[in-house]
Amino acid sequence: MKTPLVIFGAGDIAQLAHYYFSHDSAYEVVAFCVDEAYLTQDHFCGLPVVAFERVTEHYPADRNAFFVALSYSKLNAVRKDKYEAARAKGYRLASYVSSRATVLNDGQVGDNCFILENNVVQPFVVIGNNVTLWSGNHIGHHSTIADHCFLASHVVVSGGVQIGQQCFVGVNATLRDHITLGERCVIGAGALVLADAESEGVYVGQPTQRSAVPSSRLRKI
């Protein structure tokens, strides 16, 4: 018998969470919830939507698990705050780990994690609470990802990397081995990080510039 699950959120990520949990987990999504100030609909994905302030009245914490389906807004602070609020209500926070991910770290994954397809998590990696690994990342051996981080797709984390709390790492970024990212760092899409990054650092990759030659003048394409 599947464990009933309440999802916080009613947007794209909540819809994705509903899909993944429904198709590839031991949980059954039974409802959604949002803060009462944002309660504008009574159903989402065909299921009830209730106010977070009263969610325990409808779906008691001793009979339902909970998942916070939010993005990296405000450097993951919004997701962190709601994660802590759900725990304060007594809920057990569920994690989703795709059956199509290769996870070899003996289950060292915290709660409220969202690990999508084609991630490779090597042995001796430690993943904290409330961490999102979007699809297709490589997390190298003996690395640690602290709580409340968000790694977008196709990130390469080499071996022995330490990522502090509330970091965001953008698509196709590469972190060399045995470096440390301080808390609340932002690593932009395509960035190459070769040395330690201080807390609250912002590292942006070089964007591709438009060529002066228009596509209509290219003869070999």
Euclidean distance between CA atoms 101 and 85, whole angstroms: 29
Pick the CATH number of 95-201 from 3.20.20.10, 3.40.50.2300, 2.160.10.10, 2.40.110.10: 2.160.10.10
User: How confident is the model over 173-182, as pLDDT tens digits?
Assistant: 999 999 999 9
CA distances from 116 to 128, 129, 146, 158, 173 (A): 16, 15, 18, 19, 17
Read off the tokens for 145: 């990802």
Instruction: Tell me, yes or no, if the two domains 3-93 and 95-201 fold the same way.
Output: no
Query: Using CA atoms, how far apart are residues 71 and 50, in angstroms rounded to an integer?
Result: 20
Distances (CA, A) of 162 to 13, 24, 50, 90, 142: 27, 30, 38, 30, 9
Strand partners, 97: 115
Q: Which CATH number fits domain 3-93: 2.40.30.10, 3.30.43.10, 3.40.50.20, 3.10.450.50?
A: 3.40.50.20
Q: Which secondary-structure segment (H or E) carries 202?
A: strand 202-203
Q: What residue spans define the domains of the chain?
A: 3-93, 95-201
pLDDT of res. 220: 75
For residue 221, the model assigns a pLDDT of 73
User: Could you tell me the pLDDT band of residue 205, with boundaries at 50, 70 and 90?
Assistant: confident
Question: Which pLDDT tens digit goes with each residue over 49-64?
Answer: 999 999 999 999 999 9
pLDDT tier at 207 (50, 70, 90 boundaries)? Answer: confident
* Cα distance between residue 8 and residue 13, in whole Å: 10
How do residues 19-40 score in pLDDT, each as one tens digit?
Answer: 999 999 999 999 999 999 999 9
The reported pTM is 0.95
Beta carbons of 181 and 200 less than 8 angstroms apart? no
- For 14, the token pair is 């909540």
pLDDT digits 0-9 by tens, 85-107: 999 999 999 999 999 999 999 99
